[in-house]
């Protein structure tokens, strides 16, 4: 099954921001495009808005004047659904209400031919439910574009329970012909991106609710240590707190209130207060004129130790040994091979967080970094009873490596580590349940939400047992089940243990 021929008309129903974006993508690809909106005059306004965007593409040398004129000639507004009768594909981008979408597709089915591909752009509703009342449900598919559709490359091609494989393939090939990067997935709450991405928001909110760090510090650690393009609080402010919470709540309800997807009370209160983010002027941050954005907590300068002793394998943090030497701090050999840790001259130790609490007065945890050489900030965590000199020495050591240091509360798994581990876990669970392939999950998370690595890429870098072990330790301290490793992750890690001859 191949992509739709460029001579085939494509219709977009619903002419808001997303509908206009999808129409522009199909139009620039070369299709005749028809716009329809139930509100009189909206389709004509949308056509004018798309024309203006085509003008800007010409100004930016992304289209020629002739290409723009040809595209405009292919774009028309429809006064009724009957004008869509000969379309080969109709994409719906109306309000996220199941009854509205079902009614629309039932009406469309009375107009278009049985070979017309019908698609919903829903991000939160069941594709199966939307198409469930159709006379020919096999030609119904989800085409989930990401906003702004003309710019973001990812499209999730979602097969409902009744979707014919040929219809999904045609939708996939058409999206690819439009210059997009499609991934295929089953009809599951949140599809791939909105399912696997939940921990990015949830863990940041959990750390904040535990009063371990403020939003600005959590965001800075996620960006400057974790390698994420934006922190969770600034990203939800950009998305809209009401929108982000609605998706979280929808996924949680769709999974029968699975504790792994539990919404945040702190975010609920923010929405109730009307602080919806950038669009309302206030969210986690204040965007009103003259408002100052708070900075992250950054520790004051401290003296670096004269030397350290490195015991055992530091695992994902092994690169630190070379960085310490490059910084001019002597690395002395250990008398015996112990668990991976850095020992300071006063006998205190630094360890990469393992998901537990530091506990001892002689122990400081440091957080995971995507790349310890490139990271510009490191988070440290210690118990309330830690020896004052130890935390200062740990701070000085990382400052000697050119890192800013944020000291956060003693929350299990800290910030980056617990976030990455939970993302890996949900990715393994999704693949085990047939939602998507590991390759498509990685592609979706890199392109859909700009993660620096896909979950399976992260897992290969960190080791096959790392996420399971860290989440197991977090679960010991937080036994709600929210951070308990999935069966899929347990199986994967157990297989790795068996290969290495390690008891699981």
- As annotated, the active-site residues are 123, 144, 156, 194
CA distances from 318 to 291, 340, 378, 405, 460 (A): 42, 9, 15, 19, 15
Cβ atoms of residues 25 and 89 within 8 Å? no
Q: Phi first, then psi: give them for residue 141, nearest 5 degrees.
A: -145, 160
Residue 408 tokens read as: 């956060």
The span from the CA of 165 to the CA of 438, in Å, is 20
CA distances from 174 to 75, 117, 128, 150, 177 (A): 18, 11, 21, 15, 5
Cβ atoms of residues 432 and 426 within 8 Å? no
- Which secondary structure element, helix H or strand E, spans residue 488, and what is its range? helix 487-500
The span from the CA of 187 to the CA of 246, in Å, is 19
Closest CA to 445 of 275, 232, 192, 208: 192
DSSP structure string for 118-139: EEE--SSS-HHHHHTT-SSGGG
For every residue of 420-451, which 3-state class applies, written as one string?
Answer: HHHHHHHHHHHHHCCCCCHHHHHHHHHHHCCC
User: In terms of DSSP bridges, do strands 307-311 and 330-332 run parallel, antiparallel, or are they unpaired?
Assistant: parallel
The span from the CA of 496 to the CA of 504, in Å, is 9
The span from the CA of 196 to the CA of 427, in Å, is 6
User: In terms of DSSP bridges, do strands 154-159 and 307-311 run parallel, antiparallel, or are they unpaired?
Assistant: unpaired
Residue 499 tokens read as: 């290969």
The span from the CA of 115 to the CA of 23, in Å, is 21
Q: Give the N- to C-terminal CA distance of the chain in Å, as an integer.
A: 46
Residue 397 tokens read as: 């050591």
Residue 375 tokens read as: 């990271």
Cβ atoms of residues 379 and 419 within 8 Å? no
Peptide bond into 148 cis (omega under 30): yes
**Helix, strand, coil percent values for the chain (each to nearest 5):** 45, 15, 40
Cβ atoms of residues 117 and 167 within 8 Å? yes
């Amino acid at each position: 099954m191949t992509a739709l021929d460029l001579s085939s008309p494509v219709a977009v129903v619903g002419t808001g921001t997303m509908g206009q974006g999808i129409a522009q993508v199909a139009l620039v690809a070369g299709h005749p495009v028809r716009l329809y909106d139930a509100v009189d005059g909206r389709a004509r306004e949308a056509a004018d808005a798309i024309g203006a965007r085509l003008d800007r593409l010409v100004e930016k040398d992304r289209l020629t004047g002739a290409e723009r004129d040809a595209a405009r000639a292919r774009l028309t507004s429809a006064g009724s659904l009957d004008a869509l009768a000969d379309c080969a594909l109709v994409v719906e981008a109306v309000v996220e209400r199941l009854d509205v979408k079902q009614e629309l597709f039932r009406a469309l089915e009375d107009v278009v031919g049985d070979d017309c591909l019908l698609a919903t752009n829903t991000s939160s509703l069941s594709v199966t439910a939307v198409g469930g009342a159709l006379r020919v449900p096999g030609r119904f598919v989800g085409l989930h574009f990401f906003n702004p559709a003309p710019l973001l490359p990812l499209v999730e091609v979602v097969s409902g329970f009744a979707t014919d494989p040929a219809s999904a393939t045609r939708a996939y090939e058409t999206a690819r012909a439009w210059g997009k990067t499609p991934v295929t997935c089953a009809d599951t709450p949140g599809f791939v991106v909105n399912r696997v991405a939940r921990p990015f928001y949830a863990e940041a909110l959990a750390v904040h609710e535990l009063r371990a760090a403020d939003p600005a510090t959590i965001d800075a650690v996620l960006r400057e240590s974790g390698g994420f393009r934006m922190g969770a609080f600034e990203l939800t402010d950009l998305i809209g707190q009401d929108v982000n919470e609605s998706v979280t709540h929808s996924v949680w309800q769709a999974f029968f209130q699975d504790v792994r997807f539990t919404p945040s009370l702190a975010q609920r209160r923010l929405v109730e207060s009307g602080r919806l983010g950038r669009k309302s002027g206030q969210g986690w941050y204040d965007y009103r004129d003259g408002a100052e954005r708070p900075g992250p907590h950054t520790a004051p300068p401290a003296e670096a130790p004269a030397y350290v002793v490195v015991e055992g394998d530091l695992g994902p943090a092994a690169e630190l040994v070379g960085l310490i030497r490059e910084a001019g701090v002597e690395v002395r050999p250990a008398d015996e091979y112990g668990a991976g840790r850095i020992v300071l001259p006063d006998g205190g130790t630094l360890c990469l967080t393992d998901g537990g609490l530091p506990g001892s007065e002689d122990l400081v945890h440091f957080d995971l970094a995507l790349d310890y050489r490139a990271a510009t900030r490191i988070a440290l965590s210690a118990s309330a009873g830690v020896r004052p000199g130890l935390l200062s020495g740990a701070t000085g050591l990382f400052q000697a490596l050119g890192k800013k240091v944020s000291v956060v509360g003693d929350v299990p798994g800290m910030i980056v580590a617990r976030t990455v581990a939970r993302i890996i876990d949900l990715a393994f669970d999704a693949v085990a349940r047939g939602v998507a392939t590991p390759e498509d999950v990685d592609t979706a998370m890199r392109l859909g939400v700009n993660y620096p690595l896909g979950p399976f890429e992260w897992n290969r870098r960190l080791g096959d047992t790392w996420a399971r072990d860290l989440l197991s330790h977090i679960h010991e301290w937080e036994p709600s089940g929210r951070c308990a490793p999935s069966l899929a992750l347990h199986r994967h890690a157990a297989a790795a243990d068996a290969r290495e001859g390690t008891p699981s």
